[in-house]
Amino acid sequence: MNPAAGMLRIVVGLGTRAVDRPDDDYPRLVAMDYPLLRPQSCMDNIRQFSQRFMDVLNIPQNTLEPISINRYLAEKPDWNVDLYAVEDEEAARRMKQLDMEGTPSWIMTFDRLLTETDFVPLMRRLMDTLQRIYDYPVDIEFTYNQATGRPGQLNLLQCRPLQTRGFGARVQIPDSLPAEQILFQSQGGFMGGCIAQPIDRIILIDPSAYIQLSQQEKYDVARLVGKLNRQICNRDKDTTLLMGPGRWGTSTPSLGVPVRFSEISQISVLCEISYPGGNLMPELSYGSHFFQDLVEEDIFYIALFCEKPDVVLHIHLLQGRENLLRELFPDAQKYQHVVYVYDMRHQNLMLMADVLSQKLVCFFKTA
């Protein structure tokens, strides 16, 4: 894929689910040069990482309202659903086995929209024209309506220069590092350009301990992260890696740590770790407002999907090191089994990533 070709986040309904980081489903990410290419390898994954709700305006009550797409389709069968979705054959098979009757269940793929309409060529023309006029990459918001038997109608709502960091100079990733030196390693799953950065401090939220907390305690952990963030006076001299389960900044504590962006603004590297045991999964939210905040604050982002064969995570290499949380905040002793703060200034810990090879590794350098 060519990054210069651009990408889209598309949803049905209002665009709030495209620009925000929805907690209950996912937009469709579209690479403009390979529109049908997707990271999911099977229909189970496509189903899991697809849009299930859409935001609409409730006119009588003057409110924004999320509704189930399948419920809407059951009530509005005249909608041209085949253009945006495929029938969930697995759900239909289960209903048949249970001798149940019901309306079809749909999975939002957008595949026919991307292949059988003028949507993709039109978006390419629009984005190429705007970038040429601005002489700079652009970030746009738009609507597209495709009525049956009629040409699609595209409306441009917003256009602004896209804040970008660029690739930076290529980084030569060391080959064949011993396992005992690798804290984590991944093929892809990062944003922020090429990097070769020593790590001075690690703040780690232990996934197994976090999922045992009550909802209020999870909010307490988020506020504690904010306190640790405020202690960072100079990001360049105190490079901090923040690691935790699921999505940082979620509004749903069961999906990750519900920090506000101001509570991670001094972090240099933000890492989201998958933890299937608690249904906690990262989301690489390209194009969202959260992503733009990371870019503008120059925060390097990492998503570690630990169930993937090319991802290595050796948290045990941190065990046995002194947890500084009690020293920094004696009143937070209750959470010292959840929140770990490690001083790595003399440990030769290095984070390296190369965009072109899509290699990422965080490792302990030998003298």
Task: Determine the residue type at 255.
Answer: L
Across 114-128, 154-168, 191-205, 309-323, least confident range: 154-168
Q: Residue 324 and residue 213: Cα distance in Å, rounded? A: 21
Higher pLDDT: 328 or 91? It is: 328
Place of tokens 């990054």: 3
Q: Convert the pLDDT of each residue in 350-360 to its tens digit.
A: 999 998 888 99
Higher pLDDT: 355 or 122? It is: 122
Q: Which residues contact 169 (CB under 8 A, 6 or more apart)?
A: 194
**Strand order in 312-313's β-sheet?**
195-198, 349-354, 359-364, 182-187, 312-313
Distances (CA, A) of 204 to 172, 257, 300, 304: 27, 11, 16, 14
**pLDDT of 287 strictly over 70:** no
Q: How confident is the model over 192-211, as a mean pLDDT?
A: 93
Q: Residue 154 and residue 151: Cα distance in Å, rounded? A: 10
146 contacts 323 by C-beta, under 8 angstroms: no
Q: How confident is the model over 191-200, as a mean pLDDT?
A: 89
Looking at residue 163, what is its pLDDT? 64
| R_g (Cα) of the chain, nearest Å | 22
Give the rounded percent of residues in the chain with a pLDDT score beyond 70: 93
Q: Residue 75 and residue 56: Cα distance in Å, rounded? A: 15
Q: How confident is the model at residue 175 (pLDDT cuts 50, 70, 90)?
A: confident
Looking at residue 367, what is its pLDDT? 64
Task: Determine the residue type at 323.
Answer: N
Return the HEC string of the chain: CCHHHCEEEECCCCCHHHHCCCCCCCCEEEECCECCCCCCCCHHHHHHCCCCEEEEEECCCCEEEEEEHHHHHHHCCCCCHHHCEEECHHHHHHHHHCCCCCCCCEEECCHHHHHHCCHHHHHHHHHHHHHHHHCCCEEEEEEEECCCCCCCEEEEEEEEECCCCCCCCCCCCCCCCCHHHEEEEEECCEECCCEEEECCEEEEECHHHHCCCCHHHHHHHHHHHHHHHHCCCCCCCCCEEEEEECCCCCCCHHHCCCCCHHHCCCCCEEEEECEHHHCECCCCCCCCHHHHHHHHCCCEEEEECCCCCCCEECHHHCCCCCCCHHHHCHHHHHHCCCEEEEECCCCCEEEEEECCCCEEEEEECCC
Beta bridge pairs of residue 280 = 275
Q: How many CA atoms lie within 13 A of 61 on its CB side?
A: 6
The length of the chain is 367
What does the domain layout of the chain look like in residue ranges?
A: 3-161, 179-364
Q: Convert the pLDDT of each residue in 243-268 to its tens digit.
A: 999 989 888 898 899 999 999 999 99
**pLDDT of 232 strictly over 90:** yes
Mean pLDDT of the residues in the chain: 87
Cα 353–Cα 355–Cα 356 angle in degrees, nearest 5: 125
Intra-chain end-to-end CA distance of the chain, in Å: 38
Q: Residue 223 and residue 254: Cα distance in Å, rounded? A: 16
Looking at residue 336, what is its pLDDT? 94
**pLDDT of 286 strictly over 70:** no
pTM, two decimals, is 0.73
Q: How confident is the model over 96-103, as a mean pLDDT?
A: 73
Q: Which residues contact 134 (CB under 8 A, 6 or more apart)?
A: 159, 161
Q: Residue 293 and residue 205: Cα distance in Å, rounded? A: 22
